[in-house]
A and B are shown apart, each in its own frame.
Chain A
């Protein structure tokens, strides 16, 4: 909910999140470096630092990729989603330091330009055990850079949320490249089966989480057969099936809508938050305003408009409550259009 741009819109929650993240990253690096020195006293410190940075970034990438499906499957993970972009930028910074140190260590002292050397020093693309894994890491780093560099809300507005989200889906391409980078790297330097086991476990866990979350999402988007009245209204559910100050999502008009019950009333708005297309239907009504579960953007449920001075708006839907059932017209109104809320007949009232 922007009102002028600044570097970071700090609040108490973001500070706490970032401090926890920083503490976790520093603890990991310290443990890795000290542990490596103790277990391998002959190891070169440069290599230990290089690996500490690389593995920290890779572990953090797994956490980042797991947060989305976890939050879909269980709302208790939502707080982690709140500031995930800072986690992404932190991960990119670690990966960049790993990349720079690798470039300096392996390609920094020859006659060839280090970046050219990165691609030309090993051209065994036909060999599994000698495959040049470093270029894979380079391309992954480029993708991670693009995502980190466009993480500010200015880019979200400039590129529009669908394009921005498509660009940021590049994280899965980066993950694939990094799996190759780490896997081929292990083949050439480490052959302990436990490392391959860890790599496979991380990959399979992410796959399972994404499949479970996708199953839940698909179920929602294949709802069909709503009863329709003569005016074109669709019967979606009973009012009392919507928890008070909460919403329920339905697939109507080619996209999801969110129907909210609050203060004895019912309203329907488009489900996608204007900020990052977060699922408004999974949010709560706080102080009479629908609050996006991802970053807290708020909308008046009757108008779909953010309270002044903010200017975000989402489409609204005509709605009526008949005999305790919620009927919604599938044609959306322009964003910010006021619609009379349906009145809830509370149980026990004549």
Chain B
């Protein structure tokens, strides 16, 4: 029973990673340039190979961003950045 459970888990994880690898190959060849402006400037072969393994794992996140048409990485939200952003947004609203 335990062996069967372990088997199922590995089959599920293997399926997820197989799908991910298929996506990752397309992503490193095409998608990465659309998602990240720095990659649009230059994306060497070594860089594309370096991001392949994690693209295989994090493919749902990358696929969602790619499909949503985002062309920039998300903005980090630290207390200072958020406070500065909300202040400038309020000013814009006032204007």
Contact = CB atoms under 8 A, between A and B. Distances in A.
A5 B76 contact: no
Contacts of A157: 36, 38, 73
B85 interface: yes
B88 A334 contact: yes
Contacts of B41: 3-4
Contact of A119 (B6, B38, B39, B84): B6
A133 to B, nearest CB: 17
B11 to A, nearest CB: 10
Contacts of A253: 79-80, 83
Contacts of A160: 73-77
A270 B50 contact: no
B35 A158 contact: yes
Interface stretch (A42-50, A145-153, A293-301): A145-153
Contacts of A272: 78, 80
B53 interface: yes
Nearest to A115: B10
Given A5-B43, A8-B46, A112 B10 contact: no
A120 B50 contact: no
Contact of B32 (A119, A154, A270): A154
B51 A270 contact: no
Q: Which of A2, A123, A315 has the most CB of B within 10 A?
A: A315
Nearest to B72: A157
A150 B54 CA distance: 6
B81 to A, nearest CB: 6
A164 B75 CA distance: 13
A83 to B, nearest CB: 15
Contacts of B62: 158
B68 interface: no
A255 B84 contact: no
Contacts of B7: 113, 116
Contacts of B88: 334
Contacts of A283: none
Interface in A227-279: 253-255, 257, 270, 272, 274, 277
Interface string B1-39: 011001100100000000000000000000010011011
Interface string A79-105: 000000000000000000000000000
Contact of B77 (A5, A115, A158, A162): A162
Contacts of B45: 7
Interface in A149-177: 149-150, 152, 154-155, 157-158, 160-162
Contacts of B36: 5, 154, 157-158
Interface of A: 2-8, 112-113, 115-116, 119-120, 123, 145-146, 149-150, 152, 154-155, 157-158, 160-162, 253-255, 257, 270, 272, 274, 277, 314-315, 331-335, 337
25 contacts: A3-B38, A3-B41, A4-B39, A4-B43, A4-B44, A5-B43, A6-B44, A6-B46, A7-B50, A116-B10, A123-B2, A150-B58, A152-B51, A154-B32, A154-B36, A155-B54, A158-B35, A160-B77, A254-B80, A255-B79, A270-B81, A274-B76, A315-B81, A332-B81, A332-B84
